[in-house]
């Protein structure tokens, strides 16, 4: 290990590190990167509808592993990026497209296509020379995403871990039709009742998801190798094989495929700190996280939009508020 | 008789002025809200385009406030808008509402018919009164356009978030209240001042990225249905311009056929290599304006369209070729009653990031 | 030396193929069409079009791609309007542009602009400039055009006589050679003999099928709706089999003239089926996200709700439609009719 003296005067002999947090609807991921951008720690947790508790839990776990490290920058991303940003005191709050692109370009510097399929949504990012050239997110429903695969695996009685291998055993995948999850499911049931073999159905499902993905998210995109496949679904060998078949090119799945958003957030934080010329991170510190955080919401009756305004409190102090379309509650 | 009409952005200011000055009693529907949309979608055909659904919501909310007459524009195709009036009339009648619907069809060269329909709305008036009302409405329309442009120019430089939007709202109120062209002029001057004050000297990025907004007129002009794309981009520090302002739309939609202005217009010329025939709605304008923005070296273009909009689908289909040939990033956002702010915000942020990163890269290359 | 003109077997092929074929052949050219719609054709089309486009437009792209390498020209007229003050649909107006932007390596496009919305002169100029690609003789172009019109008139008579496009083309000896008629044989069709009125008299179930020809006559897109209904012993009358005078008269019940030619026909046919007592049930088959049909279908549904005497069902198809779902709906619909008719 390379010793990083860093800002020795300010923080003792602590090595500098960067924290990235990706709060999604299904999973919350945390990573700690060293100054070179290598992963020191990574955590993959279920959000379970309670992002604040999950962030606190994750931070408690990391606090021990990260002792002796100085958090020089903190970045958040994902659908809960603002919430996480406020709680942690993030230096950089970024959308997940940018975060995934940055992480992918770090791992595979010449990457030109990123396929990302997570729990609730999917995206494609086209890069050239390390910069985003084009992108798209799913516009239809969650039929191509991780939650759907989990659900169908459950319905077929296949453990999700074995889903991928099973798909690889198929010789003649069946064709499954369906624009949305409900229709795909009913067509799948129909195929099952016609007597098709389970591995063929599983493989057919993978192919259907890949086809839907390429025809919706990937439509009109200039997909060129190297292609990187990341997000929780990248663990599924059946999906990877279906992509390789459809695109006729090998697909790389990075080592930390399921926390790439968090890695990107940490890298973006490092970039941000660097751009403002160093200085201390806005990070509240690991101790602060034991504070009592609470989110509460109320319906604003100011107009028929009836916006649900969310209050984030640390102890008794309101530290953030958002959710109104008109913005009248945003300042306090 | 209490007249109402559907919302489209700030068009209500102009329409109210016109109808009231002609002696009609006007009920402006409440500004579109989630309630409007949910009422509208509940009673509209599933695959009708979004404007029809929000219109229905507007009418019902206005009738709750006592309106009994609906004024609506017609059309001769091929865009669905031309049949909106008749279908909406059937929907509302079946729901048991008692009302009269007056559909003003485009003149197709005959102004008399239009005046007849307008006459049904406001009663008999001497010609002089029409001229006066039209002048007031025109003054307001031009003022609204200018104020909206000033707000777009101010947002990236505003002192605090929301300052320009608040200034715009107060300026529009002044214009809405003005009772004569002279007063509109004064309101406009005051509005300019308020919007200037919203800018902070030296605030924001001195050379902000520029993004053009193109697409179907209703979705472009109605912030409620487009999840306030314009404001959000402005607050992200982007200088926004859009291809359509209310004044343009009225000039084109109501006066085009009288003056036969369509042919040879600039967007049609610019769109030619990609789309060389009128396709209804604003399909050609969308393509032509994208070419125009690319030539003016904008950093990106965002197309807005209602789900299933036919002309915009044709445009969307050819836009990748424009983007490729002219090297301008183009993103399409499609809206329906299921669109969520969160989804739109993430896409906008990612688009702005992409645009800014490529600018920075170009700058560093020199 | 004639050249080869390819006509994609999609969209208005079902309306105008005999006319276009005779026109180009009279000018000394050879005419070929793409094969029947297959999964591969559809997939190829889906790949190059925006997701928001309707299935028929995607299928059309697939057929154009299927013609690559098989002809010197591909005929993709810009069908703006085929009658005064009416249009087909915005997507038809931009079709050649969409094809140009999306399809690489295809034969040269003949994109004659057919626009009869204002004057006939504009149309004749388009006919002339198309003909000029193959001959210098204006007289020959005119003669070819006349022959083409005659063929179209004959074709229309066959359709109004109760034949499907495939059957009518077979009778006229111009069915594309490489495939069998898709909806069963001509004999099978004429066995229903004497038209819907006779079938009704003979106690058979008669169903009115409202839908764009490029949906209901394409066995792949429609999931074989015609054959399936016939196999269930149903006599089918499509919106195209009604004389124009009937659909025009019925469509005029709507307070405003519908400015889509095909949409007006569908509306008129739907009104006729729902009101005249000539059929036992009315089926509307439409493409997901079809603009005109979103409004036409709504008007028909409302008409049906007001009357309630003729069963009415809507079936929506797109590239994600599963055949099992369609079959279930068709069977259920025919059951509804059969049970109603029981004393």
**CATH number for position C113:** 3.40.50.11890
Q: Which of C50, C113, C262 to mutate to test the interface with B (most CBs of B within 10 A)?
A: C50
| Chain B residues touching C50 at Cβ < 8 A | 313, 316-317
Residue B263 confidence (pLDDT) above 70: no
* C68/C198 same-domain check: no
The whole domain housing C72 covers 4-160
How many Å apart are CA C4 and CA C30, to the nearest integer?
5
Kindly report, residue by residue over B151-190, the tens digit of the pLDDT. Answer: 999 999 998 888 999 999 999 999 999 999 999 999 999 9
Dihedral Cα B35, B37, B39, B41, nearest 10 deg: -150
Q: How far is B230 from chain C (nearest CA, A)?
A: 24
* Within a domain: C173: no
Question: Which position has the token pair 């979004």?
Answer: B50
* Within a domain: C197: yes
CATH number at residue C251: 3.40.50.2300
Nearest to C264 by CA among C82, C44, C67, C92: C82
Which residues of chain C register pLDDT less than 50? Answer: 178-193
Residue C53 CB-density burial (10 A; 0-12 exposed, 13-18 middle, 19+ buried) = buried
How many Å apart are CA B243 and CA B213, to the nearest integer?
6
How many Å apart are CA B191 and CA A241, to the nearest integer?
61
Q: Which of B45, B274, B308 sits opposite C298 (nearest CB)?
A: B45
Subunits in contact with chain B (3 or more CB pairs closer than 8 Å): A, C
How many Å apart are CA C224 and CA A238, to the nearest integer?
33
Q: Over range B50-71, report the average pLDDT.
A: 96
Say whether B353 and A137 touch across the interface (CB within 8 A): no
Give the count of domains, chain A: 3
Q: Of C107, C142, C160, which marks where a domain is finished?
A: C160
How many Å apart are CA C210 and CA B243, to the nearest integer?
39
* A187/A150 same-domain check: yes
Token reading at A226: 């190297």
β-sheet with A317-322: strand ranges across:
A293-299, A308-314, A317-322
Helix (H, G, I), strand (E, B) or coil at C161: coil
Say whether B350 and A135 touch across the interface (CB within 8 A): yes
Residue B45 confidence (pLDDT) above 60: yes
* C131/C13 same-domain check: yes
Residue B251 confidence (pLDDT) above 80: no
Q: Any chain B CB within 8 A of the CB of C101?
A: yes
**Range with the poorest average pLDDT among A1-5, B112-116, B342-346, C162-166:** A1-5
pLDDT at position A275 is 85
Kindly report, residue by residue over A111-156, the tens digit of the pLDDT. Answer: 999 999 987 778 999 998 888 888 888 765 555 677 778 888 888 8
* A284/A187 same-domain check: no
| Interchain CB contacts (distance < 8 Å): B and C | 117
Contacts of B322 (CB under 8 A, 6+ apart): B274, B287, B290, B291, B294, B328, B330
Subunits in contact with chain C (3 or more CB pairs closer than 8 Å): A, B
Q: Which of A219, A268, A304, A326 to mutate to test the interface with B (most CBs of B within 10 A)?
A: A304
How many Å apart are CA C335 and CA C207, to the nearest integer?
12
Strands B210-215 and C312-317: unpaired
Nearest CA in chain A to B228: A325
Q: Of A252, A271, A303, which marks where a domain is finished?
A: A252
How many Å apart are CA B318 and CA C26, to the nearest integer?
35
pLDDT at position C194 is 58
How many Å apart are CA A192 and CA A189, to the nearest integer?
5
Say whether C46 and A220 touch across the interface (CB within 8 A): no
| Cα distances (angstroms) measured from residue B339 to each of A139, A217, B34, C51 | 9, 16, 11, 17
pLDDT at position A13 is 58
Residue B238 confidence (pLDDT) above 90: yes
pLDDT confidence band for A11 (50 / 70 / 90): very low
Nearest CA in chain A to C288: A179
How many Å apart are CA B286 and CA C31, to the nearest integer?
37
Contacts of A244 (CB under 8 A, 6+ apart): A250, A251
The reply to whether domains B2-125 and B208-366 share a CATH topology is yes
Kindly report the number of other CB atoms within 10 A of residue C248's CB atom. 14
* C122/C255 same-domain check: no
Kindly report, residue by residue over B193-231, the tens digit of the pLDDT. Answer: 999 999 988 777 788 999 999 999 999 999 999 999 999
Q: How far is B224 from chain C (nearest CA, A)?
A: 22
Residues of B (71-90) whose Cβ lies below 8 Å from C: 74, 76-80, 82-83, 85-87, 89-90
Report whether B108 contacts B257 (CB < 8 A): yes
Give the count of domains, chain C: 2
Query: In terms of pLDDT, which residue wins out, C185 or B103?
Result: B103
Percent with pLDDT over 70 in chain B: 95
Kindly report, residue by residue over A274-318, the tens digit of the pLDDT. Answer: 888 878 888 988 877 777 888 888 888 777 777 778 888 888 888
* Within a domain: A66: yes
H-helix or E-strand spanning residue C206: strand C205-210
* A97/A29 same-domain check: yes
* Within a domain: A332: no
**DSSP 8-state class, residue B140:** H
Q: Over range B55-62, report the average pLDDT.
A: 97
Q: Does domain B208-366 have CATH number 3.40.50.11900?
A: yes
Average pLDDT, chain B: 89
Nearest CA in chain C to A214: C47
| Chain C residues touching A124 at Cβ < 8 A | none
Residues of B (11-50) whose Cβ lies below 8 Å from C: 45-49
* Within a domain: A329: no
* Within a domain: A327: no
Strands A308-314 and A293-299: antiparallel
Annotate B347-362 with b (16+ C-beta within 10 A) or e (fewer).
bbbbbbbbbbbbeeee
The whole domain housing A222 covers 109-252
Sorted by where each begins, the domain ranges of chain B are: 2-125, 131-207, 208-366
How many Å apart are CA C14 and CA C171, to the nearest integer?
15
Strands A69-77 and C4-7: unpaired
| Cα distances (angstroms) measured from residue C224 to each of A33, A268, C61, C217, C283 | 59, 55, 21, 8, 14
Contacts of A193 (CB under 8 A, 6+ apart): none
* Within a domain: C180: no
Nearest to A181 by CA among A144, A211, A156: A144
Report whether A115 contacts A278 (CB < 8 A): no
Q: Which of B83, B316, B320 sits opposite C258 (nearest CB)?
A: B83
| Interchain CB contacts (distance < 8 Å): A and B | 64
pLDDT at position A279 is 81
* A159/A221 same-domain check: yes
Say whether C291 and B310 touch across the interface (CB within 8 A): yes
Q: Which ranges of C82-191 would DSSP assign to H, the alpha helix?
A: 90-93, 95-102, 120-131, 138-160, 165-171, 186-191
Nearest CA in chain B to A134: B329
* Within a domain: A331: no
Angle at A174 between CA A172 and CA A177, to 5 degrees: 155
Say whether B80 and C291 touch across the interface (CB within 8 A): yes
* Within a domain: C309: yes
CATH number at residue A84: 3.30.420.40
Query: In terms of pLDDT, which residue wins out, A63 or B211?
Result: B211
* C151/C11 same-domain check: yes
Residue B264 confidence (pLDDT) above 70: no
ipTM for the assembly? 0.89
Kindly report, residue by residue over C38-54, the tens digit of the pLDDT. Answer: 989 999 999 899 888 99
Chain B residues bordering chain A (beta-carbon distance below 8 Å):
30-31, 33-36, 160-162, 165, 228, 320, 329, 334, 341-343, 345-347, 349-351, 353-354, 357-358, 361
* A235/A116 same-domain check: yes
Report whether C333 contacts C232 (CB < 8 A): no
Q: How far is B113 from chain A (nearest CA, A)?
A: 38
pLDDT at position C106 is 94
* A15/A78 same-domain check: yes
Report whether A45 contacts A84 (CB < 8 A): no
Residue B115 confidence (pLDDT) above 60: yes
Contacts of A15 (CB under 8 A, 6+ apart): A3, A4, A6, A34, A35, A68, A69, A70
Q: How far is A102 from chain B (nearest CA, A)?
A: 11
* A274/A237 same-domain check: no
pLDDT confidence band for A38 (50 / 70 / 90): very high
Report whether A87 contacts A312 (CB < 8 A): yes
* Within a domain: C261: yes
Say whether A183 and C51 touch across the interface (CB within 8 A): no
Query: In terms of pLDDT, which residue wins out, B276 or A146?
Result: B276
| Cα distances (angstroms) measured from residue C323 to each of B133, C37, C219, C229, C319 | 60, 15, 11, 14, 11
Say whether A220 and C50 touch across the interface (CB within 8 A): yes
* A90/A189 same-domain check: no
Q: Under CATH, which architecture does the B2-125 domain have?
A: 3-Layer(aba) Sandwich (3.40)
How many Å apart are CA B162 and CA B236, to the nearest integer?
11
Nearest CA in chain A to B353: A98
* Within a domain: A154: yes
* Within a domain: A148: yes
Nearest to B142 by CA among B180, B103, B175, B109: B175
Phi and psi angles of residue C216, each rounded to the nearest 5 degrees, phi first: -70, -25
* Claim: this prediction has a pTM higher than 0.90: no
How many Å apart are CA B158 and CA B196, to the nearest integer?
9
Nearest CA in chain C to A222: C48
């Amino acid at each position: 290990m390379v010793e990083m003296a860093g800002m020795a005067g300010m923080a003792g002999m602590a090595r500098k590190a960067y924290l990235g947090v990706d709060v999604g609807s299904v999973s919350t991921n945390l990573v700690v990167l060293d100054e070179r951008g290598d992963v020191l720690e990574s955590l993959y947790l279920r959000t379970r509808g309670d992002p604040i508790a999950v962030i606190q839990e994750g931070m408690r776990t990391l606090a021990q592993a990260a002792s002796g490290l100085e958090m020089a920058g903190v970045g958040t991303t994902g659908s809960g990026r603002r919430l996480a940003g406020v709680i942690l005191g993030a230096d950089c709050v970024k959308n997940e497209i940018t975060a995934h692109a940055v992480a992918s370009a770090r791992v595979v510097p010449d990457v030109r296509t990123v396929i990302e399929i997570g729990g609730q949504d999917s995206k494609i990012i086209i890069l050239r020379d390390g910069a985003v050239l084009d992108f798209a997110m799913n516009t239809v429903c969650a039929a191509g995403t991780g939650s759907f695969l989990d659900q169908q695996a459950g319905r077929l009685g296949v453990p999700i871990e074995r889903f991928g291998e099973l798909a690889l055993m198929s010789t003649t995948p069946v064709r499954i039709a369906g624009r949305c999850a409900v229709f795909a499911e009913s067509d799948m049931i129909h195929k099952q009742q016609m007597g098709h073999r389970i591995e063929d159905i599983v493989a057919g499902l993978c192919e259907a998801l890949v086809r839907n993905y390429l025809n919706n998210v990937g439509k009109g995109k200039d997909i060129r190798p190297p292609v990187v496949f990341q997000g929780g679904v990248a663990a599924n060998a059946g999906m990877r094989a279906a992509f390789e078949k459809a695109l006729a090119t090998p697909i790389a799945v990075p080592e930390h495929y399921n926390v790439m958003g968090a890695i990107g957030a940490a890298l973006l934080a490092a970039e941000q700190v660097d751009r403002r010329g160093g200085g201390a991170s806005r990070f509240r510190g690991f101790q602060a996280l034991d504070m009592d955080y609470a989110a509460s919401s109320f319906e604003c009756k100011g107009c028929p939009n009836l916006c649900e305004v969310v209050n984030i409190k640390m102890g008794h102090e309101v530290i953030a508020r958002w959710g109104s379309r008109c913005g009248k509650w945003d300042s306090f | 008789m209490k007249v109402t009409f559907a919302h489209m952005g700030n068009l209500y200011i102009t329409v109210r002025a016109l109808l009231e000055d002609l002696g009609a009693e006007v009920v402006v529907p409440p500004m579109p809200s989630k309630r409007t949309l949910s009422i509208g979608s509940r009673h509209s055909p599933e695959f009708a385009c979004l404007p029809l659904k929000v219109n229905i919501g507007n009418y019902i909310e206005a009738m709750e406030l006592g309106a009994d007459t609906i004024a609506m524009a017609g059309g001769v195709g091929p865009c669905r808008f031309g049949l909106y009036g008749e279908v909406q009339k059937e929907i509302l009648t079946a729901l048991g509402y008692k009302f009269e619907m007056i559909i003003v069809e485009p003149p197709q060269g005959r102004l008399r018919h239009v005046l007849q329909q307008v006459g049904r709305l406001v009663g008999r008036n001497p010609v002089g009164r029409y001229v006066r009302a039209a002048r007031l409405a025109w003054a307001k329309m031009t003022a609204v356009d200018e104020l909206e442009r000033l707000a777009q120019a101010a947002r990236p430089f505003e002192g605090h978030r929301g300052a320009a939007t608040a200034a715009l709202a107060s300026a529009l109120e002044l214009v809405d209240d003005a009772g004569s062209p002279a007063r509109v002029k004064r309101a406009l001057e005051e509005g300019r001042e308020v919007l200037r004050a919203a800018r902070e000297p030296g605030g924001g990025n001195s050379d902000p990225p520029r993004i053009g907004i193109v697409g179907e007129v209703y979705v472009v002009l109605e912030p409620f249905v487009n999840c306030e794309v314009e404001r959000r981009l402005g607050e992200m520090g982007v200088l926004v311009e859009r291809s359509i302002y209310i004044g343009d739309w009225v000039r084109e939609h109501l006066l085009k056929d009288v003056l036969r202005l369509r042919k040879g217009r600039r967007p049609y010329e610019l769109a030619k290599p990609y789309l060389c025939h009128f396709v209804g709605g604003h399909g050609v304008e969308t393509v032509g304006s994208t070419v125009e923005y690319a030539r003016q070296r904008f950093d990106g273009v965002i197309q807005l369209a209602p789900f299933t909009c036919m002309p915009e689908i044709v445009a969307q289909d050819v836009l990748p070729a424009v983007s490729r040939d002219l090297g301008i990033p183009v993103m399409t956002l499609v809206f329906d009653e299921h669109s969520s702010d969160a989804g739109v915000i993430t896409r906008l942020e990612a688009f702005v990031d992409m645009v800014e990163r490529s600018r920075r890269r170009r700058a560093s290359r020199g | 030396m004639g050249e080869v003109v390819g006509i994609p077997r999609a969209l208005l092929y079902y309306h105008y193929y005999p006319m276009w074929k005779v026109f180009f052949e009279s000018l000394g050219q050879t005419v070929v069409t793409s094969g029947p719609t297959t999964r591969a054709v559809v997939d190829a089309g889906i790949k190059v079009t925006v997701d928001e486009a309707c299935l028929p437009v995607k299928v059309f792209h697939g057929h154009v791609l299927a013609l690559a390498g098989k002809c010197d020209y591909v005929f993709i007229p810009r069908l703006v309007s085929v009658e005064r003050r009416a249009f087909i649909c915005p997507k038809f107006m931009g079709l050649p542009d969409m094809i140009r932007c999306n399809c690489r390596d295809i034969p040269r496009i003949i994109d004659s602009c057919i626009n009869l919305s204002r004057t006939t002169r504009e149309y004749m100029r388009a006919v002339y400039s198309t003909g000029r690609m193959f001959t210098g003789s204006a007289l020959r172009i005119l003669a070819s055009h006349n022959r083409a019109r005659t063929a179209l008139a004959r074709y229309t008579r066959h359709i109004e006589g109760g034949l499907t496009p495939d059957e009518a083309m077979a009778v006229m000896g111009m069915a594309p050679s490489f495939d069998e008629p898709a909806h069963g044989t001509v004999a099978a069709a004429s066995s229903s003999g004497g038209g819907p009125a006779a079938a009704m008299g003979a106690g058979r179930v008669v169903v009115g099928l409202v839908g764009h020809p490029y949906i209901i006559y394409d066995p792949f897109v429609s999931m074989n709706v015609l054959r399936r209904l016939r196999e269930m012993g149903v006599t089918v009358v499509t919106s195209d089999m009604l004389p124009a005078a009937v659909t025009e008269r019925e469509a005029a019940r709507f307070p405003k003239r519908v400015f889509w030619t095909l949409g007006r026909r569908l509306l008129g046919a739907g009104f006729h089926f729902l009101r005249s007592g000539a059929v036992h049930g009315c089926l509307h088959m439409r493409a997901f996200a079809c603009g005109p049909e979103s409004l036409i279908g709504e008007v028909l549904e409302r008409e049906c709700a007001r009357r309630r005497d003729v069963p009415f069902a809507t079936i929506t198809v797109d590239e994600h439609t599963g055949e099992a779902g369609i079959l279930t709906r068709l069977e259920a619909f025919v059951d509804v009719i059969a049970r109603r008719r029981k004393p």
